[in-house]
């Protein structure tokens, strides 16, 4: 009887030791956190960040930041750290619809030339050209690939913020109409492809200038017809339309001296809005 009880107790002890060992093996590594990256900039916090068109290829601003040193209970993480540079207007708290996010991957620095940063501010944030604006920048870091459903959130860290005063400049010549006027010509219009426009009163195919970079017109279009935008009535020198193999009947990106735009399939009166700041045009049935 004693031998029997001894065997049972021995078996139970072995089972307990087995499950204890398994439990120990299952809970080996867990995330402990990190330190928010410290951002530095070639332009001092609060200073003017100059954007000079003649210096388009020169460095406008350079950023660098510290490693957040993500820590697990077994030591510093060997997982890839991904960084985002976020740029927004002051007061929006990095939550505006036009906030710009630039993926940096795992590098600890990045820089932008004047043309690149001007595009981020003017075309990206879509603030007015030729006027000073207060913007801010920060670095966001997180671990990737994600190893648990909650790790991406718990590993997200935000750097200190740099504020700048910046005045974006309008795009260079031949990106906006050189004469401050814009016309539409083509088979989708009453004037056809005649240039100069002489079948109708030219003003009926002239856009109204809403701002230095935005033009709008309300005009009847022939369904399925083609058209282009021209800067000067009677000249083909400066013209804009869609890129090769892109039709965008309801609008989309446009380029300098591209292929013909295609009007919507249904004839009717449409509002066409051409925005040289964003490089996008829209075609909306009235």
Q: What CATH number has the domain bearing residue 249?
A: 2.60.40.3620
| Mean pLDDT, rounded, for 55-65 | 94
| Range scoring the smallest mean pLDDT among 52-56, 58-62, 164-168, 207-211 | 52-56
Does residue 194 share a domain with residue 154? Answer: no
Q: What is the 3-state secondary structure (H, E, C) of 90-110?
A: CCCCCCCCCCEEEEEECCCEE
DSSP output for 25-87:
HHS---EEE--PPPEEESS-TTSB----GGGTTSEEEEEEE-----EETTEE--SEEEEEEEE
Q: Is residue 10 part of a domain?
A: no
Does residue 152 share a domain with residue 46? Answer: yes
Residue 47 pLDDT > 70, yes or no? yes
| Range scoring the smallest mean pLDDT among 149-158, 198-207, 257-266 | 149-158
Does residue 134 share a domain with residue 189? Answer: no
Does residue 200 share a domain with residue 128? Answer: no
Does residue 162 share a domain with residue 35? Answer: yes
Q: How many domains does the chain have?
A: 2
Beta-bridge mates of residue 219:
270
Q: What is the pLDDT of residue 93?
A: 92
Confidence of residue 27 (pLDDT cuts 50, 70, 90): low
Query: Which domain does 205 fall in, by range?
Result: 183-285
| Separation of alpha carbons 104 and 85, rounded Å | 7
For residue range 120-132, list pLDDT tens digits in order.
Answer: 999 899 998 888 9
Q: Is residue 146 part of a domain?
A: yes
Residue 220 pLDDT > 50, yes or no? yes
Confidence of residue 279 (pLDDT cuts 50, 70, 90): confident
CA distances to 19, 20, 21, 90 from 13, rounded to whole Å, are 10, 11, 12, 66
Q: What is the pLDDT of residue 150?
A: 45
- Mean pLDDT across the chain, nearest whole number? 85
Give percent above pLDDT 90 in the chain: 59
| Range scoring the smallest mean pLDDT among 25-34, 83-92, 154-163 | 25-34
Q: What is the pLDDT of residue 175?
A: 73
Give percent above pLDDT 70 in the chain: 83
Among residues 138, 166, 194, which one ends one of the domains?
Answer: 166
| Range scoring the smallest mean pLDDT among 53-57, 81-85, 217-221 | 53-57
Collapse the DSSP code of 2 into the 3-class scheme (helix H, G, I; strand E, B; otherwise coil) and give the result: helix
Q: pTM of the entire structure?
A: 0.64
Q: Is residue 151 part of a domain?
A: yes
Does residue 121 share a domain with residue 44? Answer: yes
Q: Is residue 14 part of a domain?
A: no
Higher pLDDT, 18 or 49: 49
| Range scoring the smallest mean pLDDT among 60-74, 75-89, 107-121, 248-262 | 75-89
Q: What is the pLDDT of residue 9?
A: 46
Pair of tokens at residue 148: 């648990």
Higher pLDDT, 167 or 180: 167
Q: What is the pLDDT of residue 6?
A: 46
Does residue 223 share a domain with residue 160? Answer: no
């Amino acid at each position: 009887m004693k031998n029997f009880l001894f065997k049972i107790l021995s078996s139970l002890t072995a089972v307990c030791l087995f499950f204890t060992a398994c439990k120990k093996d299952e809970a080996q590594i867990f995330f402990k956190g990190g330190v928010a990256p410290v951002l530095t900039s070639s332009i001092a916090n609060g200073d003017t960040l100059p954007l000079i068109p003649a210096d388009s290829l020169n460095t406008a601003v350079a950023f660098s930041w510290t490693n957040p040193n993500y820590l697990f209970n077994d030591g510093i993480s060997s997982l890839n750290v991904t960084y985002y540079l976020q740029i927004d207007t002051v007061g929006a708290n990095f939550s505006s619809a036009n906030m710009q996010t630039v993926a940096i991957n795992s590098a600890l620095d990045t820089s932008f030339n004047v043309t690149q940063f001007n595009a981020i501010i003017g075309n990206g944030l879509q603030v007015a050209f030729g006027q000073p604006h207060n913007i801010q920048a920060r670095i966001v870091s997180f671990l990737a690939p994600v190893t648990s459903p909650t790790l991406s959130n718990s590993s997200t860290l935000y750097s200190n913020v740099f504020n700048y005063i910046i005045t974006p400049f309008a795009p260079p010549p031949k990106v906006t109409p050189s004469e401050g006027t814009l016309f539409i010509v083509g088979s989708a219009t009453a004037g056809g492809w005649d240039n100069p426009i002489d079948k109708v009163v030219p003003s009926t195919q002239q856009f109204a200038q809403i701002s230095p970079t935005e033009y709008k017109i309300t005009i009847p279009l022939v369904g399925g017809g083609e058209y282009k935008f021209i800067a000067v009535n009677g000249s083909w020198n400066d013209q804009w339309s869609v890129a090769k193999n892109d039709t965008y009947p309801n609008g989309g990106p446009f380029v300098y001296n591209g292929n013909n735009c295609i009007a919507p399939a249904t004839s009717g009166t449409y509002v066409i809005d051409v925005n040289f700041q964003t490089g996008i045009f829209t075609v909306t049935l009235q």
